[in-house]
Every structure is written in structure tokens, then in C-alpha cells.
Amino acid sequence: MSFKYAALLVATVFAAPAFAEGDAGKGEKTFKKCKSCHMIKNGDDVIFKGGKTGPNLYGVMGRVAGAEEGFKYGKSLVEAGEKGLVWDAETFAAYTADPKAFLKEYLDDGAAKSKMSYRLKKGAEDVAAYLESVVAE
Ligand code: HEC
């Protein structure tokens, strides 16, 4: 391997964070579509005011699905979490595009149900980046 190629490879690897394509600023705007059901709240610190129909999405990226304490999730999402579903850029985008279809496929169960009926048509990677960006170090 030539030096030039090796350097390029290293640069490529380090230039590829988890949400390379997400724009947190755009994601914050897109989150308005989620706020009727979701808030983002770290303890008493409200980062994005929203409803309680869905779970608090603070720290959801990197977390096991269906694991926000005190929220009554549907059975299928909890089951997916137990089977190892963790929210990353890819699973988050697939889920928010069509929660029910995603759970059916993930669980390989045609009867899987989702309590979230909303479908996000585009911008999931931005919302994912935004959700990551608000988490306190
Ligand atoms: C109409 C209400 C509603 C809207 C709008 C909505 N959601 Fe949800 N969301 C829910 C509910 C209810 C659940 C719990 C699903 C279940 O238990 O099956 C959920 C679950 C989730 C989860 C899984 C959380 C976890 O702890 O595992 C993610 C991620 C999520 N929503 C993201 C979003 C995003 C991003 C948007 C906006 C683009 C959005 N939702 C819009 C109601 C909604």
C-alpha cells in the first residue's frame, strides 16, 4: 500500500462520525413534527417542549429501544429492545420512516404493532444528529 493511499484511508475513517450526513440545525427544525408527542428533557431541564404521548427522547441515540423509564411502550417495541434493538443512525431512520413495518420486519412477526403511527418522510439523519447534539457530555 502506498503512503498516499494509506493516508487517504486514515482520513476517510476519521472523517466518518456516526451521523456523517446529519445536520443538527436542520434536525431541530424537523423535530417540530415530533413535538406533539415527544419532548426532550434531561431531568428538569426541558430542551424541547413537547407532548407526552410518546417517550422523552433525551439520550435516545445509542439507547436500547423501549427503555425510557416510566413510559408505557407497546409490546412489540419492548420485545425488539429485548432482542437487542439499539437506536443508531440506521435503525432510527428505518423506524421513523415506518414504525410498524420496521417492527414487523425486525421481529419477523406480521402481527407486530406500534404505538407510534407517525411516519417521517425525510430528514431522519438530521433529527438523529440533533438528538445526539443535545445530550450533555
Ligand atoms: C402521534 C404521536 C407521535 C409522533 C408525531 C411521533 N412519535 Fe415517536 N413515538 C410515539 C409513541 C406513542 C412511541 C412509543 C411506540 C411504542 O411503544 O410502540 C414513539 C416512539 C418513538 C421512538 C422510540 C423511542 C424509544 O425509547 O425506544 C423514537 C426513536 C421516536 N418515537 C422518534 C420520533 C421522531 C423522531 C418523531 C418525529 C419525526 C416522532 N417520533 C413522532 C408517538 C409519536
> Which of these, 45, 52, 109, 48, lies nearest to 77 by C-alpha position?
109
pLDDT at 2: 61
CB of residue 33 inside a 6 A radius of ligand 1: yes
Amino acid 21: pLDDT: 76
Complete domains list, the chain, with CATH:
3-133 (1.10.760.10)
Whether the pLDDT of residue 92 is over 90: the answer is: yes
CA atoms within 13 A on the CB side of 121: 0
Q: Is 53 in the pocket of ligand 1 (CB under 6 A)?
A: yes
Percent of the chain at pLDDT exceeding 70:
85
Taking CA atoms only, the protein residue closest to ligand 1 atom 32 is 96
Phi, psi of 135 (to 5 degrees): -75, 125
Question: Do 119 and 125 meet the contact criterion of CB atoms below 8 Å apart?
Answer: no
Distance 131 CA to ligand 1 centre (A): 13
Distance CA 87, CA 44 (A): 24
For residue 122, what pLDDT is reported?
Answer: 95
Q: How far is the CA of 17 from the centre of ligand 1 (A)?
A: 24
pTM here is 0.88
Q: Are 35 and 48 in contact (CB under 8 A)?
A: yes
Condensed to tens digits (0 to 9), the pLDDT of residues 38-88 reads 999 999 999 999 999 999 999 999 999 999 999 999 999 999 999 999 999
